[in-house]
Amino acid sequence: MVFGRKHKNPIKIADKGVVEWKYTTCGYCSTGCSIEVGLDQRGAAVASRGVAGADVNRGKLCIKGIFEHELFGSDGRGKVPLVRDSHLDKFVETGWDGALDKVGNEIKRLQSQYGRDSFAIISTGQIMTEEFYTLGKLARGAIGTNNYCGNTTLCMASAVSGYKRSFGSDGPPGCYDDFEHTECLLAFGSNLPEQHPIIFWRLKMALEQRKFPVIVVDPRVTMFAQMADMHLPITPGTDMVLLNALAHVILKEGLADQAYIDAHTTGISEFSSLVEQYDPFTASQICGIDEDTIRNVARLYAQAGAAMTIWTMGINQSTHGTDGVVAINNLNIITGNVGKPGGTSLSITGQANAMGTREWSSCSGLPGYRYLEKEEDRADIAKFWGIDPEFFPKQRGLTMTDILPAIETGQIKGLWLVATNPMTSMPNTPRIRKTLEKLEFLVVQDAYRDVETNEYSHVYLPAAVWAEKQGVFTNTERRVNLVRNVIKPHADSKPDFWIFNQVAKRFAGERTIPNFPETTEAAFEEMKQLSKGRMLDYSGLSYAMLEAQKGVQWPCTEGAATGSPRLYTDGKFQHADGKARLIPLPYVENNERPDEAYPFWLNSGRVVEHFHTRTRTGKLGNLNKFSPTPYMEMNPDAARTLGIAHGSYARLSTRRGDAVVMVQLTQRVPRNMVFIPFHFHECVNRLTLGLLDPYSRQPAYKQCAVKVEAAADQQAAAERNTAARAY
């Protein structure tokens, strides 16, 4: 009986006529929920449900997963390839052969005229791992451009660089099961309930079994901050100052795990000297957290039997993003919280398969966490692919955030965008528009013809989406899971895997190129062979095993019954000497800050209904209806002084551009800050500056200065806002 009611009305679920459920994995966020899609008698996808036996989600799905089957028939899908000579012309429909010939010929023309690296490729975190591996093989082994990167530079690049600096390799060492063992959770810049609802639910489940302190560091009173035991409203961009101060207290008060430091790390003496300068008082003046709180958190964390840190974009999207990640790793190294149940540094990844691209795409190196800079890694891959190792560059080329400026300067003449939408996602989009107009040749490969970037393309290739194809994703906790092909691709769209293979054929006559297997399962077999005996070991996996176990965590060695939940359990790291690095991190203030002309911090982030510039979620009724309108959170006291009312429209301006949004008054943001969801087109990224982190080249989306005023023409603003709701 619930709340004294004698009769519970049973929940009625409409009978959708499902005759078959097919196993797959959610294609939105990196939580990695197992989903079954229900097909009716006609073979149409009519329902989605969580898989009860899956360890990740245990039958649950968030609002995006529940309606994911609606994706297949959503508006704006591309049906056939389109071509035109100029972006000012109208598109003409064509067949696949004609479109792919044009792609191959234009790449060859540009490369022969301007050099191999004049053609760039920017991919995504959305496609399958086998597709990433194949695209990498095409870019590195057939086309031969070094300017190849992914939009993961906009979300997870700082985590990658930070892991590499501290531990010698990328690869999140922890897992969701750590919630069930930890005695203290510290979360930086992560609004878990909205960004990763099912990971949050796992945390809530753990807290119901056993109470432990949850400390949330975020400038905004997010949903996560509201449920935390302690909320630390930090000054934007100063996380590493707080982390240095926590380390200061821990070392000063003898709370560090000295045995772990002695056995498994290098650099303690330089690190100690640096953090000596960050006493709690000095740090409090910079990061805005009072000194007593700093001391309390340091003691709580260090004295817990096991403590863990999670983070998302609040750390990564900063000019100090990589340093912030290293500072988190430093904290966990000195407290011995790496590779043990409940003790870890766990980056919560963004896109469904951001991990897959990190592992296998060859964007920043070569497959399986290999480096272009290492001769033996180049030789390994060249031998396996049957090509000349001299064909590989000896160091990494431009990142996504450097490729776009290189178009402005004329260094890059042609671009291939795969499932990414820089017209909405890049900072300072007015500049990106001019950049794309300069290209001699732009290919857009996307499931949606109406993706904003397609306005500038010469060729549009319609791609299949999510479970219209087959392959694997890797989630935040290194769990590889299977996306079964549930339904055939929309109209004449094709799987990205097929498209890459067909483009490869256009280069076969030019030079000796690698073999491109016809099926994703055969590509997966290649990946297994290339990973055998390495930290990133897939050799024990198979599609059948992934489906049977509802996902398996790597490393999974050949013959193993299952995977491994944690990395570095033996204290051996991937640096040549096997030790983790303690790295001193001096803080340098280099952001744009609020001033008299632009007096507010501009903060941005995701809300639960949105994903990936709304190319998909903006089309689905149930998601779009809940959050259709470009809006801004503003503190009521700040709004009152400017004469701005709740529900009215405000104009925001920065040194880059302006945007008009609806005003939501809330105490979630402090007086000197406004917050805007980042997925709306022609909105927050017209304003952002996006200074780059020096290691990861990731933009600082969350820290710039903005002016706010009431929109002069409220009626026009309302009409513009209504128009934006259509998509």
- Give the binding site for ligand SF4 (CB under 6 A): 26, 28-29, 31-33, 57, 61-62, 64-65, 196-198
Q: Shortest Cβ distance from residue 196 to ligand SF4 (Å)? A: 6
Q: Shortest Cβ distance from residue 645 to ligand SF4 (Å)? A: 34
Cβ distance to ligand SF4 smaller for residue 174 or 393: 174
Cβ distance to ligand SF4 smaller for residue 62 or 634: 62
d(CA 335, CA 257): 5
Tokens found for residue 589: 């203030």
Q: Which of 190, 171, 158 is nearest to 317 (CA)?
A: 158
Cβ distance to ligand SF4 smaller for residue 322 or 617: 617
Q: Shortest Cβ distance from residue 348 to ligand SF4 (Å)? A: 11
Helices (H), strands (E): how many in the chain? Answer: 25, 26
Cβ distance to ligand SF4 smaller for residue 62 or 661: 62
Cβ distance to ligand SF4 smaller for residue 196 or 458: 196
Q: Shortest Cβ distance from residue 34 to ligand SF4 (Å)? A: 9
Q: Shortest Cβ distance from residue 197 to ligand SF4 (Å)? A: 5
Q: Shortest Cβ distance from residue 49 to ligand SF4 (Å)? A: 11
Dihedrals phi, psi of 534, to nearest 5 degrees: -100, 170
DSSP string, 566-586: -S-TTS--SSTTS-EEP----
Q: Which amino acid is at 402?
A: D
Cβ distance to ligand SF4 smaller for residue 29 or 45: 29
Q: Is the distance from CB of 227 to CB of 197 less than 8 angstroms? A: no
Question: What sign for the dihedral angle of Cα 630, 682, 689, 328?
Answer: positive
Cβ distance to ligand SF4 smaller for residue 198 or 689: 198
Q: Shortest Cβ distance from residue 248 to ligand SF4 (Å)? A: 37
Q: Shortest Cβ distance from residue 25 to ligand SF4 (Å)? A: 8
Percentages helix, strand, coil for the chain (3-state, rounded to 5) are: 35, 20, 45
Identify the three-state secondary structure at position 417.
Answer: strand
* Cis peptide bond upstream of 280, omega within 30: no
Q: Which of 499, 406, 507, 409 is nearest to 459 (CA)?
A: 499
Q: Is the distance from CB of 203 to CB of 190 less than 8 angstroms? A: no
CA torsion 67-69-70-72 (nearest 10°) is 150
d(CA 278, CA 313): 24
Tokens found for residue 137: 């093989």
Cβ distance to ligand SF4 smaller for residue 461 or 480: 480
Cβ distance to ligand SF4 smaller for residue 155 or 706: 155
* Cis peptide bond upstream of 555, omega within 30: yes
Q: Which amino acid is at 673?
A: M
Residue with token string 């500056």:
689
Count other C-beta atoms under 10 Å from residue 297's C-beta: 22
Q: Shortest Cβ distance from residue 316 to ligand SF4 (Å)? A: 18
Q: Shortest Cβ distance from residue 178 to ligand SF4 (Å)? A: 18
Cβ distance to ligand SF4 smaller for residue 64 or 490: 64
Cβ distance to ligand SF4 smaller for residue 198 or 246: 198
d(CA 297, CA 213): 10
d(CA 183, CA 304): 5
d(CA 373, CA 375): 7
d(CA 586, CA 593): 19
Q: Shortest Cβ distance from residue 29 to ligand SF4 (Å)? A: 3
* Minimal CB distance residue for ligand SF4: 65
